[in-house]
Amino acid sequence: MTAINPFTEQLIAWQKVAGRHDLPWQKTRDAYRIWLSEIMLQQTQVSTVIPYYARFLESFPDVRALAAAPIEAVIEHWAGLGYYARARNLHRCAQQVVAVHGGKFPDSAEELAALPGIGRSTAAAIAAFAFGRRAAILDGNVKRVLCRQFGIDGFPGSTAIDRRLWALAESLLPDDNIEVYTQGLMDLGATLCTRSRPRCADCPVAGACVARREGRQAELPTAKPRTRVPERQATFVLFTDGQRLLFERRPPSGLWGGLLVPPEGEPAEVAARLGLEIGEIQPLPPLKHAFTHFRLTLVPMLCRVTAQSGVAERGCEWVEIVRAVGAGVPTPIRKLIRQVASAGG
C-alpha cells in the first residue's frame, strides 16, 4: 500500500465530519441515479439541479424508461437547465446502455467514458460512487482546488496545464475511501474553495495551500486569456390569438436543439411563410442572453393573428399562454413569454 498524501488524508477526514451527506443522489449505488445527477451537475449548481433531478426520476425512474421516452419529453423536462446537448446525449446514452449493455451501466471509468455525454471526469465520478472504482475526477471546481493548493500557474484549459493537473489528480488518489475522497473534493470546491470569497479559515487543507500562503487566491487558477465575445441579434415573432402563442420546434442539434421557440425573422415575412394574417405589431423590450461562445440580443415582436391557414402543416404548434412558461422552451424565451403574459396576451 502506498503512503497517503497529507492533502488526501486531511480531505477524507474532513468530508466524513463536515462534508455534504444529504444530497438526494447520495447514499445509493444506483448507477442510473448517480449518472443522472453527474450529468445535470455539469456546469450547474446543486440548488438548481435538485428539483430537476426529482422531476426526472418521477417521469423516468430507470434507464429503460428514459431510453423508451420520446426525445421531446426529455427536452421538456430539461428546459431551463441550459447546455441542451446534455439532454440529447442523456437520451442517446440511455438508449446505448439498454441496447449495448443490457440496461446496466458498465462499471469501469474507461467504458463509461465511451458512452455519449460522459467525459473522463464524469466517468470517474460515476465509477467511484456507483462501483467504488479508483479513478480521478477533474471538473472545474477540482481544478480550482488543485491550482490553489499546489500553486499551479497557467490557464487550466491549456493542454500543458490540463495534462499536469490530470497527473496530479491521479497521484493524489487514495487506496481506500475513494467515494469519500471524491465527494470531499467536490464539497471543498463547492462550499469552501469557491471562485470568489473562499473560506480559507474553514478549509481543512489551508495549512499547506500555496495560494493562501502567498495571498494569491484571486489569481489562481489563472484566468482564461480574454477574447472578444461575438455579438448577435435575432428577431423572434410572438404570434398570439389572445389566448395562445405559436411555436416552432428547433432541429434536434444546434442552438436550443429540440426545444420550442417562437418563429424567427421579420414579422411580415414569417407570417407569409406560415399562412398567417396579422394585425397590430407591438415591439417588446429587447432581451440579452449570454451563451458560452457569444452574446445574443433577442428582439421580440408581439403580433396579433387575425386569420390563419395551414400552420399545423408547417411544423408549428399553438400553446396556451398560461402553459407556455412551463413548456419545453429555453430560459430567455420563457422570459419573453412572461412579457407577453404581463402585456395581457
- Burial of 299: CB neighbours in 10 Å, binned 0-12, 13-18, 19+: middle
Grouping H, G, I as helix, E, B as strand and the rest as coil, residue 60 is: coil
Distance (Å, rounded) from C-alpha 170 to C-alpha 255?
35
Q: Which residues pair with 276 in a beta bridge?
A: 308
Distance (Å, rounded) from C-alpha 337 to C-alpha 300?
10
Establish whether 313 is a catalytic residue: no
Contact indicator for 170, 136 with CB cutoff of 8 Å: yes
Per DSSP (E only), the strands in the chain are 231-240, 244-249, 260-261, 276-283, 287-290, 295-308, 316-320
Q: Longest Cα pair distance anywhere in the chain, in angstroms?
A: 78
Distance (Å, rounded) from C-alpha 92 to C-alpha 86?
10
Contact indicator for 231, 294 with CB cutoff of 8 Å: yes
Distances (CA, A) of 152 to 58, 124, 143, 211, 219: 43, 23, 10, 9, 10
Distance (Å, rounded) from C-alpha 313 to C-alpha 335?
28
Contacts of 62 (CB under 8 A, 6+ apart): 32, 103
Grouping H, G, I as helix, E, B as strand and the rest as coil, residue 17 is: helix
Cα-Cα end-to-end distance for the chain: 69
Contact indicator for 264, 239 with CB cutoff of 8 Å: no
Q: Which of 38, 76, 179, 248 is catalytic?
A: 38
Catalytic residues: 38
